[in-house]
C-alpha cells in the first residue's frame, strides 16, 4: 500500500514538473493576459522586439491594446502577418517630419481628406489611394495625419501580392512633425509586388486629412 502511495506521489510530481516546463517554454501570461517578456523561451521569436505581442492568437501593441483580431492566423480581411511584421510607434526613431524632406522627390499615393472609420479589430481600415510598388529610387514610405478630430490614426502597409500585413503605424498623432516613415520597404528580389495603405481612427472616426508618399530618405 505504501509502495503504491509513493508511486502516486512520484507520478504527480512528474506531471507538475512537466506542466511547469511547458508553461515556461511558452511564456507566462499576466493577469491581464499579456505575455511576460522575461518568460519567453530563449531562441523563441520575441515579438515584443518588433513592437507587438500575440495574446490568444491576436495582435496587441506593447501597451496591451488590441490591434488586430486573427482567426486561424488570418486578419478579418484574409491577410496573414508578414514574417517581418512590426508595429511602429510615435515615440521611436522612425518619426520623420515632412518639412525635413521637402527637398526629396517622392510620389504621392494619397494626399487629401478621407472618411476614416474607428478601428476595433484591424479590419476597419479604409484604403488610401491606389495600389502601388516601391522602387530602388523610392524605397521608403512616409505617412502623416495632417489634420482632423480623432486622437490618432493607425496606418497599415499591406503587401497585396503576398496577402500579408507588413507594417502597422500605431496611433500616429496629428501634425507634420509627427509623420512616420518606414525605411527599406523596397525588396529587390520582389520589385513588382503591389502594396496598399489603409487607415483607421484611434478611438473614433471622422473626416481626416492624410498623406501617404513613397520617397528615398537621406
Q: What is the mean pLDDT of the chain?
A: 78
The residue ranking higher by pLDDT, 122 or 64, is: 64
> Is 182 buried (19+), middle (13-18) or exposed (0-12) by CB count in 10 A?
buried
Please tell me the predicted confidence (pLDDT) of residue 121. 79
Range ranked top by mean pLDDT from 97-106, 154-163, 209-218:
154-163
Which is it for the CA torsion 197, 203, 205, 207, positive or negative?
A: negative
Q: Which residues of 39-61 are buried (b: 16+ CB within 10 A; e: fewer)?
A: ebeeeeeebbebbbbbbeebbbb
212 CA to centre of own chain: 17
pLDDT at site 46: 74
First to last CA, the chain: 79
Instruction: Quick: pLDDT tens for 120-164.
Output: 877 778 999 999 999 999 999 999 999 999 999 999 999 999 999
Cα–Cα distance between 131 and 198 in angstroms, integer? Answer: 11
Highest mean pLDDT among 30-34, 60-64, 65-69, 146-150: 146-150
Contacts of 196 (CB under 8 A, 6+ apart): 127, 131, 132, 157, 158, 160
Q: Which residue has the higher pLDDT, 187 or 28?
A: 187
Conformational region of residue 33, where left means phi above 0, alpha means psi within -120 to 50, and beta covers everything else: left
Query: Which 8-state DSSP code applies to residue 101?
Result: G
pLDDT at 3: 47
Give the CA radius of gyration of the chain: 22
Lowest mean pLDDT among 7-11, 97-101, 138-142, 143-147: 7-11
| Domain 89-215 architecture | Sandwich (2.60)
73: which DSSP letter? T
- Residue 9 pLDDT > 70: no
pTM score, whole prediction: 0.74
Which residues 6+ apart lie within 8 Å of 63 measured at CB?
Answer: none
Contact status, residue 164 vs residue 81, Cβ threshold 8 Å: yes
Domain boundaries defined on the chain: 89-215
Phi, psi dihedral angles at 169 (to 5 degrees): -95, 110
Which has the closest alpha carbon to 202: 139, 132, 149, 160?
A: 149
Amino acid at each position: 500500500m505504501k509502495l503504491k502511495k509513493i508511486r502516486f506521489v512520484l507520478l504527480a510530481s512528474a506531471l507538475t514538473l512537466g506542466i511547469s516546463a511547458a508553461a515556461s517554454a511558452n511564456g507566462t501570461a499576466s493577469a491581464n493576459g499579456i505575455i511576460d517578456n522575461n518568460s519567453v523561451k530563449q531562441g523563441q521569436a520575441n515579438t515584443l522586439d518588433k513592437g507587438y505581442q500575440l495574446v490568444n492568437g491576436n495582435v496587441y501593441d506593447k501597451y496591451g491594446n488590441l490591434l488586430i483580431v486573427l482567426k486561424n492566423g488570418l486578419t478579418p480581411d484574409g491577410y496573414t502577418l508578414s514574417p517581418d511584421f512590426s508595429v511602429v510607434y510615435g515615440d521611436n526613431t522612425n518619426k520623420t517630419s515632412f518639412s525635413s524632406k521637402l527637398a526629396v522627390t517622392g510620389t504621392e499615393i494619397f494626399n487629401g481628406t478621407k472618411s476614416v472609420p474607428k478601428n476595433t479589430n484591424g479590419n476597419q481600415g479604409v484604403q488610401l489611394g491606389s495600389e502601388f510598388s516601391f522602387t530602388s529610387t523610392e524605397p521608403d514610405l512616409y505617412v502623416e495625419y495632417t489634420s482632423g478630430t480623432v486622437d490618432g490614426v493607425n496606418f497599415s502597409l499591406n503587401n497585396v501580392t503576398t496577402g500579408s500585413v507588413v507594417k502597422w503605424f500605431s496611433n500616429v498623432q496629428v501634425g507634420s512633425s509627427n509623420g512616420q516613415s518606414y525605411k527599406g520597404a523596397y525588396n529587390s528580389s520582389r520589385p513588382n509586388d503591389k502594396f496598399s495603405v489603409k487607415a483607421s481612427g484611434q478611438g473614433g472616426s471622422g473626416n481626416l486629412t492624410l498623406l501617404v508618399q513613397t520617397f528615398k530618405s537621406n
